[in-house]
Amino acid sequence: MIYLQLFWEFLQIGIFAVGGGMATIPFLQHLSESTGWFPPSLITDMVAISESTPGPIGINMATYVGCAIAGIPGGIIATLGEVLPSVVIVSVVSMYLTKFRGNKLVDSAFYGLRPAVTGLIVAAGLSVAQVAMFRTELYKQTGAILDLFDLKKLVFFVLVFAAIKKFKLHPIAYIACAAVVGILLGF
């Protein structure tokens, strides 16, 4: 019963992979080695495709590997298996959270958590920015500081940010425009 086994394997990944999508990679590597269901080389393709398609990376990878192992039903089963623990765990936490709202200790914990999340998102945003707008590789080769900046993209970034502040459109509108601009200007 490959489907049941597949569900079980991804259920475990969903429980133990703490820290988002990329945290599932070591588990998938292990799965490849222990079951022989797919070659380890598949993982590189999987990461490339998962990063260049919309949706959370961890989910994309689960669907991809599931498809590779057991076709379309495999993709669906692997994905649902990986998500199920989240639904259970988060629902249970939510249940208790509503009970403890207003509790001094819980409120104090959130007092520390909010700025922490802001800091984490700044770090995540910077690492996206580094890949998206700076040519670190070229800079390492030439050492010229001007090579670090991709001027076209920086100007575009400033324009997008100004547009977000001024027009307050739905983010999807900016994403769609950015895709078109990227193609037209050959980013």
Partner 1 sequence: MSELLQMYLMFFRMGAVTFGGGYAMLPILRREIIQSRQWMDEETIMDYYALSQGLPGIIAVNVAVFIGYYRKKVPGALAAALGVVSPCILIITVIYYLLSGFQENPYVRHALAGISVCVVALILDAILSMWKKGVKDIPCVLICAFAFVVSAFTKFSPILLVILCAFIGIGIRTFLTAKKGGTGK
Single-letter amino acid, residue 177: C
**With contact defined as beta carbons under 8 Å apart, do 17 and 23 qualify?**
yes
Three-class DSSP category at 6 = helix
From 3, 135, 148, 187, residue interacting with partner 1 (rule: CB under 8 A)? 187
From 35, 125, 138, 167, residue interacting with partner 1 (rule: CB under 8 A)? 125
| 57-66 burial code (b ≥16 CB/10 A, e <16) | bbbbbbbbbb
Which residue number, 2 or 22, has a Cβ lying nearer to partner 1? Answer: 22
Binding marks (x or -) toward partner 1, 156..185, rule CB under 8 A? Answer: xx--xx--xx----xxx-xx-xxxxxxx-x
How far apart are CB 20 and partner 1 at their closest, in Å?
Answer: 5
Site for partner 1 in 10-29 (CB under 8 A): 14-21, 24
Residue 169, φ and ψ in degrees, nearest 5:
-75, 170
How far apart are CB 84 and partner 1 at their closest, in Å?
Answer: 8
Which residue number, 4 or 161, has a Cβ lying nearer to partner 1? Answer: 161
Closest-CA residue to 132 (of 57, 182, 60): 182
Count residues binding partner 1 (CB under 8 A).
Answer: 93
How far apart are CB 50 and partner 1 at their closest, in Å?
Answer: 8
Site for partner 1 in 104-123 (CB under 8 A): 104-105, 107-123
**With contact defined as beta carbons under 8 Å apart, do 79 and 8 qualify?**
no
Q: Dihedral, CA atoms, 11, 14, 15, 18, nearest 10 degrees?
A: 160
From 2, 25, 83, 148, residue interacting with partner 1 (rule: CB under 8 A)? 83
From 126, 144, 146, 151, residue interacting with partner 1 (rule: CB under 8 A)? 126
Single-letter amino acid, residue 87: V
